[in-house]
Amino acid sequence: MPRYALLVEYDGAPFAGWQRQADQPSVQGAIEAALARLEPGPHTIAAAGRTDSGVHARGQVAHADLAKDWTPFRLQEALNYHLKPAPVAIRAAARVSEDFHARFSAGERRYLFRVLNRRARAVLEAGHVWQVQKPLDLEAMRAGAAYLVGKHDFTTFRSTMCQAKSPVKTLDALEITERETEAGREIRFALRARSFLHNQVRSFVGTLERVGAGAWAPEDVARALAAADRAACGPVAPPQGLYLMGVGYPEDPFG
């Protein structure tokens, strides 16, 4: 059966997450239902990352096996037609080899977390940023983030429900920038790693927010990391500011 890679963008607000669920809407379920309109029968797709409820994506990657030999453009157009009005779009489709796997072939995941740092209640950005009203110290957060980069036991920063076999991961980058937007001051956390633990990014951001607010010193991040204890983690940031921006492969399927 021909295998296709799909580059997917979605607004996570109305979904219970990526993974298909029997009684709640999911991104996987929406795409599989669209595939069933093209080729009758059950479909099961796999994704590079199972994003949680409320988490968005600009560059999620999934793969699907189909019976028909579709041209990538026709497949993309047909899926987008049947996905309406769900807030999900197939940005690209590509024919890939049978040994391509959206999750296991991936060599890198890139996430972005957006914080809107202003007093007035967010209206137009609601559901797409985490609003923090108290001013945040950018340099203090950068100093705290530096302790997290590299290979570590990240037990402190993963959910107790995490199913990963090991808490040891390598964080390749955690860059914190700010920009003035029409909505106000926005602080962006850009993270890159081969793979992430469940709730790892949100745990990082929630902890670093405490540093930026002055409740923690940057060195407290190092102590929390060394504790290897979930109880040492700061508050977990909410999901609506998190975006899966892209997935890297040895060869870009969308080329």
Domain CATH for 52: 3.30.70.580
pTM tops 0.85: yes
* Strand intervals (E) in 118-161: 130-132, 150-153
Whether 31 and 86 share a structural domain: yes
Does pLDDT of 41 surpass 90? no
pLDDT for 99 equals 96
> Whole domain around residue 86: which residue ranges?
3-105
pLDDT tens digits, one per residue of 47-68? 999 999 999 999 999 999 999 9
Whether 51 and 160 share a structural domain: no
Q: How far apart are CA 32 and CA 64, in angstroms?
A: 9
Whether 124 and 212 share a structural domain: yes
The residue from 11, 23, 52, 220 that is catalytic is 52
CATH number (domain holding residue 168) = 3.30.70.660
Is the residue at 192 inside a domain? yes
52 is catalytic: yes
Is the residue at 255 inside a domain? no
Task: Give the C-alpha distances (Å, rounded to integers) separating 105 from 63, 185, 186, 203, 234.
Answer: 11, 37, 33, 26, 33
Looking at 77, 105, 133, the residue that finishes a domain is 105
Handedness of CA 93, 96, 101, 105 (dihedral sign): negative
8 A C-beta contact, residue 4 and residue 64:
yes
Give me the mean pLDDT over the 227-254 stretch: 97
pLDDT tens digits, one per residue of 112-156? 999 999 999 999 999 999 999 999 999 999 999 999 999 999 999
Q: What pairs with residue 112 in β-bridges?
A: 190, 243
**Sequence-ordered list of residues with C-beta below 8 angstroms from that of 224, at least 6 positions apart, any chain:** 156, 157, 207, 232, 233, 234
Whether 225 and 162 share a structural domain: yes
Whether 79 and 175 share a structural domain: no
What's the total number of domains in the chain?
Answer: 2
Looking at 105, 140, 161, the residue that finishes a domain is 105
Q: What is the percent of the chain where pLDDT is above 70?
A: 100
Whether 114 and 21 share a structural domain: no
Give me the mean pLDDT over the 188-200 stretch: 97
Whether 226 and 120 share a structural domain: yes
pLDDT tens digits, one per residue of 82-112? 999 999 999 999 999 999 999 999 999 999 9
* Mean pLDDT, the chain, integer: 97
* Local confidence band at 32 (pLDDT 50, 70, 90 cut-offs): very high
Backbone angles phi, psi at 247, to 5 degrees: -130, 135
Is the residue at 77 inside a domain? yes
Looking at 84, 105, 126, the residue that finishes a domain is 105
pLDDT for 22 equals 87
The 10 Å Cβ neighbour count of residue 243 is: 24
* Local confidence band at 77 (pLDDT 50, 70, 90 cut-offs): very high
Does pLDDT of 1 surpass 90? no
Secondary structure of residue 243 in the 3-state scheme: strand
Whether 208 and 130 share a structural domain: yes
